[in-house]
Protein backbone atom coordinates (compact mmCIF):
# COMPACT_ATOMS: atom_id res chain seq x y z
CA UNK A 1 0.00 0.00 0.00
CA UNK A 2 2.76 2.43 0.89
CA UNK A 3 4.60 1.71 -2.37
CA UNK A 4 1.40 2.48 -4.27
CA UNK A 5 0.90 5.76 -2.39
CA UNK A 6 4.45 6.94 -3.00
CA UNK A 7 4.66 5.62 -6.56
CA UNK A 8 1.48 7.44 -7.55
CA UNK A 9 2.10 10.49 -5.36
CA UNK A 10 -1.23 9.97 -3.59
CA UNK A 11 -1.84 12.60 -0.95
CA UNK A 12 -3.06 10.46 1.90
CA UNK A 13 -1.86 10.67 5.47
CA UNK A 14 -1.17 7.98 8.01
CA UNK A 15 -4.27 9.06 9.93
CA UNK A 16 -6.39 8.12 6.91
CA UNK A 17 -4.58 4.82 6.58
CA UNK A 18 -5.33 4.10 10.20
CA UNK A 19 -9.03 4.56 9.54
CA UNK A 20 -8.83 2.29 6.51
CA UNK A 21 -6.74 -0.36 8.20
CA UNK A 22 -8.27 -0.45 11.68
CA UNK A 23 -9.29 -4.08 11.42
CA UNK A 24 -8.85 -7.05 13.75
CA UNK A 25 -5.78 -8.02 11.71
CA UNK A 26 -4.01 -4.86 12.84
CA UNK A 27 -5.58 -4.55 16.24
CA UNK A 28 -6.55 -1.28 17.87
CA UNK A 29 -6.13 1.97 15.88
CA UNK A 30 -3.36 3.25 18.12
CA UNK A 31 -1.25 0.30 17.05
CA UNK A 32 -1.68 1.01 13.36
CA UNK A 33 0.26 4.28 13.21
CA UNK A 34 3.56 2.73 14.35
CA UNK A 35 3.01 -0.12 11.91
CA UNK A 36 2.71 2.14 8.87
CA UNK A 37 5.46 4.43 10.11
CA UNK A 38 7.80 1.46 10.40
CA UNK A 39 6.84 0.20 6.93
CA UNK A 40 7.59 3.60 5.42
CA UNK A 41 10.93 3.72 7.21
CA UNK A 42 11.85 0.30 5.84
CA UNK A 43 10.85 1.29 2.31
CA UNK A 44 12.79 4.55 2.38
CA UNK A 45 15.84 2.84 3.81
CA UNK A 46 15.64 0.22 1.04
CA UNK A 47 15.74 3.13 -1.42
CA UNK A 48 18.91 4.43 0.20
CA UNK A 49 17.56 6.96 2.70
CA UNK A 50 19.61 7.29 5.87
CA UNK A 51 17.80 5.89 8.89
CA UNK A 52 18.66 8.93 11.01
CA UNK A 53 17.13 11.31 8.46
CA UNK A 54 13.96 9.21 8.34
CA UNK A 55 13.72 9.45 12.12
CA UNK A 56 14.54 13.17 12.13
CA UNK A 57 11.71 13.99 9.72
CA UNK A 58 9.21 11.59 11.28
CA UNK A 59 9.85 13.22 14.65
CA UNK A 60 7.98 16.32 13.43
CA UNK A 61 4.73 14.35 13.42
CA UNK A 62 3.79 14.83 9.75
CA UNK A 63 1.67 11.95 8.46
CA UNK A 64 1.59 12.82 4.74
CA UNK A 65 3.71 10.06 3.22
CA UNK A 66 4.55 11.92 0.01
CA UNK A 67 5.54 15.04 1.92
CA UNK A 68 7.63 13.08 4.41
CA UNK A 69 9.51 11.28 1.62
CA UNK A 70 10.17 14.54 -0.28
CA UNK A 71 11.47 16.24 2.85
CA UNK A 72 13.82 13.35 3.62
CA UNK A 73 15.28 13.40 0.11
CA UNK A 74 15.77 17.19 0.20
CA UNK A 75 17.39 16.98 3.63
CA UNK A 76 19.78 14.27 2.46
CA UNK A 77 20.83 16.41 -0.50
CA UNK A 78 21.35 19.45 1.73
CA UNK A 79 23.40 17.61 4.34
CA UNK A 80 25.71 16.28 1.62
CA UNK A 81 26.84 19.88 0.94
CA UNK A 82 29.39 21.88 2.90
CA UNK A 83 26.64 24.26 4.02
CA UNK A 84 24.55 21.38 5.31
CA UNK A 85 27.40 19.63 7.12
CA UNK A 86 28.62 22.83 8.75
CA UNK A 87 25.15 23.97 9.75
CA UNK A 88 24.51 20.58 11.33
CA UNK A 89 27.71 21.05 13.34
CA UNK A 90 26.50 24.51 14.37
CA UNK A 91 23.14 23.10 15.43
CA UNK A 92 24.80 20.47 17.58
CA UNK A 93 27.11 23.06 19.15
CA UNK A 94 24.15 25.30 19.96
CA UNK A 95 22.20 22.37 21.38
CA UNK A 96 25.13 21.26 23.53
CA UNK A 97 25.42 24.75 24.99
CA UNK A 98 21.68 24.99 25.64
CA UNK A 99 21.49 21.51 27.13
CA UNK A 100 24.41 22.26 29.44
CA UNK A 101 22.84 25.52 30.55
CA UNK A 102 19.48 23.85 31.12
CA UNK A 103 21.10 21.48 33.59
CA UNK A 104 22.15 24.49 35.64
CA UNK A 105 18.68 25.99 35.70
CA UNK A 106 15.79 27.12 33.48
CA UNK A 107 16.75 28.67 30.17
CA UNK A 108 15.71 32.29 29.56
CA UNK A 109 12.31 32.82 27.97
CA UNK A 110 11.07 35.36 25.50
CA UNK A 111 12.70 36.64 22.34
CA UNK A 112 16.25 37.85 21.78
CA UNK A 113 16.76 41.52 21.03
CA UNK A 114 19.02 42.92 18.34
CA UNK A 115 22.25 44.44 19.63
CA UNK A 116 24.54 46.71 17.66
CA UNK A 117 27.71 44.91 18.70
CA UNK A 118 29.38 42.58 18.31
CA UNK A 119 28.68 42.46 14.57
CA UNK A 120 28.51 38.68 14.53
CA UNK A 121 25.71 38.63 17.10
CA UNK A 122 23.73 41.23 15.17
CA UNK A 123 24.30 39.32 11.92
CA UNK A 124 22.98 36.08 13.38
CA UNK A 125 19.94 37.89 14.77
CA UNK A 126 19.21 39.36 11.33
CA UNK A 127 19.74 36.04 9.58
CA UNK A 128 17.40 34.17 11.90
CA UNK A 129 14.77 36.88 11.48
CA UNK A 130 14.96 36.53 7.69
CA UNK A 131 15.16 32.73 7.67
CA UNK A 132 11.98 32.25 9.71
CA UNK A 133 9.49 33.67 7.17
CA UNK A 134 11.42 32.11 4.27
CA UNK A 135 11.24 28.70 5.92
CA UNK A 136 7.56 29.09 6.73
CA UNK A 137 6.70 30.05 3.16
CA UNK A 138 8.81 27.29 1.63
CA UNK A 139 7.43 24.59 3.91
CA UNK A 140 3.86 25.75 3.41
CA UNK A 141 4.39 25.46 -0.34
CA UNK A 142 6.19 22.13 0.04
CA UNK A 143 9.21 23.65 -1.70
CA UNK A 144 11.87 21.76 0.19
CA UNK A 145 14.72 22.96 -2.00
CA UNK A 146 13.82 26.52 -1.03
CA UNK A 147 13.58 25.48 2.63
CA UNK A 148 17.09 24.05 2.47
CA UNK A 149 18.33 27.24 0.81
CA UNK A 150 16.85 29.21 3.71
CA UNK A 151 18.74 26.98 6.12
CA UNK A 152 21.93 27.32 4.09
CA UNK A 153 21.79 31.09 4.58
CA UNK A 154 22.25 30.50 8.32
CA UNK A 155 25.50 28.59 7.93
CA UNK A 156 27.94 31.52 7.73
CA UNK A 157 26.29 33.67 10.44
CA UNK A 158 26.22 30.69 12.80
CA UNK A 159 29.89 29.90 12.14
CA UNK A 160 30.96 33.51 12.66
CA UNK A 161 28.87 33.83 15.81
CA UNK A 162 30.60 30.89 17.44
CA UNK A 163 34.01 32.08 16.28
CA UNK A 164 33.64 35.59 17.70
CA UNK A 165 31.02 35.61 20.46
CA UNK A 166 31.31 34.28 24.00
CA UNK A 167 27.86 32.90 24.79
CA UNK A 168 28.49 32.51 28.51
CA UNK A 169 29.27 36.15 29.08
CA UNK A 170 29.85 37.37 32.62
CA UNK A 171 27.18 39.98 31.89
CA UNK A 172 23.90 38.24 32.79
CA UNK A 173 21.80 40.22 30.31
CA UNK A 174 24.26 39.52 27.48
CA UNK A 175 24.35 35.84 28.34
CA UNK A 176 20.56 35.56 28.43
CA UNK A 177 20.17 37.33 25.10
CA UNK A 178 22.75 35.11 23.42
CA UNK A 179 21.09 31.99 24.76
CA UNK A 180 17.75 33.25 23.45
CA UNK A 181 19.34 33.81 20.06
CA UNK A 182 20.58 30.22 20.01
CA UNK A 183 17.15 29.00 21.06
CA UNK A 184 15.59 30.89 18.17
CA UNK A 185 18.13 29.59 15.67
CA UNK A 186 17.56 26.03 16.85
CA UNK A 187 13.79 26.53 16.67
CA UNK A 188 13.95 27.69 13.05
CA UNK A 189 16.12 24.74 12.05
CA UNK A 190 13.73 22.45 13.88
CA UNK A 191 10.97 23.37 11.45
CA UNK A 192 12.71 21.23 8.82
CA UNK A 193 13.71 18.22 10.92
CA UNK A 194 14.77 17.22 14.40
CA UNK A 195 18.48 17.70 13.85
CA UNK A 196 19.26 16.21 17.24
CA UNK A 197 18.48 12.83 15.66
CA UNK A 198 20.84 13.36 12.73
CA UNK A 199 24.23 11.72 13.07
CA UNK A 200 27.43 13.52 12.17
Asked whether residue 76 is assigned to any structural domain, the reply reads no
CA 173, 136, 125: angle at the middle one, nearest 5?
A: 25
The answer to whether 167 and 175 are in contact (CB under 8 A) is: yes
Domain of residue 17, residue span:
2-71
Single residue among 71, 96, 119 that ends a domain in this structure = 71
Peptide bond into 10 cis (omega under 30): no
pLDDT value at residue 66: 86
- 165: three-class secondary structure by DSSP: coil
Q: Are both 184 and 85 inside the same structural domain?
A: yes
Q: Are both 39 and 99 inside the same structural domain?
A: no
pLDDT digit string, tens, across residues 78-89? 999 999 999 999
The answer to whether 12 and 5 are in contact (CB under 8 A) is: yes
Question: Which segments of the chain have a pLDDT < 50?
Answer: none
Q: Are both 28 and 96 inside the same structural domain?
A: no
Single residue among 71, 90, 124 that ends a domain in this structure = 71
Q: Report the domain count for the chain.
A: 2
pLDDT value at residue 39: 79
pLDDT digit string, tens, across residues 143-184? 999 999 999 999 999 999 999 999 999 999 999 999 999 999
pLDDT value at residue 10: 62
Amino acid sequence: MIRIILGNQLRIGLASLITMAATPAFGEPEGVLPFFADRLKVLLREEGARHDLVDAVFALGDDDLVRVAARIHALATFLATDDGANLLAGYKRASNILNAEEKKGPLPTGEAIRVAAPDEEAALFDSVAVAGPRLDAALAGEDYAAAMNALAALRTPVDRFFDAVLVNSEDAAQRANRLLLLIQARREMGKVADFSLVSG
